[in-house]
């Protein structure tokens, strides 16, 4: 399970870095819930694809996901059942010029589920890492 979910996380990063909204969304279940760091909620794979297409063609064109700029790296996978896992991870993003911004470091929570053809994310929640 763990290796499959690590590959799923890596595929998510690769799809973002390629600016491929369809590949990004395909990693989520049809009815996935996706909550951004500022509280916007998307429901379903198509909404995730549409919103990310607009981002990848607009304000986040050329942005890159990677390790957090300042926060400690974290990738924790906890099995809740043979077909469900809780994933908590940190990451960061850089602008097209390669500049890493510690203000963009995030901690993310995913629910990964095993479907007939492999693992997908059923939920995602992103929170910026900051001082209390």
132 residues of the chain, pLDDT tens digit each? 899 999 999 999 999 999 999 999 999 999 999 999 999 999 999 999 999 999 999 999 999 999 998 899 999 999 999 999 999 999 999 877 777 778 889 999 999 999 999 999 999 999 999 876
What is the pTM (predicted TM-score) of this model? 0.93
Q: How high is the pLDDT of residue 123?
A: 98
Task: Provide the 3-class DSSP secondary structure of residue 62.
Answer: coil
Q: How far is Cα 87 from Cα 19, in angstroms, rounded to an integer?
A: 23
Burial of 78 (0-12, 13-18, 19+ CB in 10 A): exposed
Instruction: With CA atoms as reference, report the closest residue to 34 among 14, 51, 10, 19.
Output: 51
What 3-state class would DSSP assign to 102?
helix
Question: Among residues 42, 18, 15, which one has the least CA distance to residue 30?
Answer: 42
Q: What's residue 98's pLDDT? A: 72
- Dihedral over alpha carbons 25, 38, 18, 121 (to 10 degrees): -30
Torsion angle of C-alpha atoms 63, 103, 121, 10, degrees rounded to 10: 50
């Amino acid at each position: 399970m763990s290796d499959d979910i690590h590959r799923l996380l890596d595929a998510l990063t690769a799809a973002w870095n390629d600016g491929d909204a369809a590949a990004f969304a395909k990693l989520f279940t049809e009815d996935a819930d996706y909550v951004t760091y500022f509280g916007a909620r998307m429901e379903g794979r198509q909404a995730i694809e549409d919103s990310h297409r607009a981002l990848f063609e607009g304000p986040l064109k050329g942005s890159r996901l990677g390790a957090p700029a300042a926060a400690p790296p974290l990738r924790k996978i906890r099995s809740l059942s043979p077909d469900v896992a809780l994933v908590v991870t940190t990451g960061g993003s850089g602008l097209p010029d390669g500049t890493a911004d510690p203000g963009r470091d995030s901690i993310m929570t995913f629910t990964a589920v095993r479907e007939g053809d492999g693992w997908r994310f059923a939920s995602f929640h992103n929170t910026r890492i900051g001082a209390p």
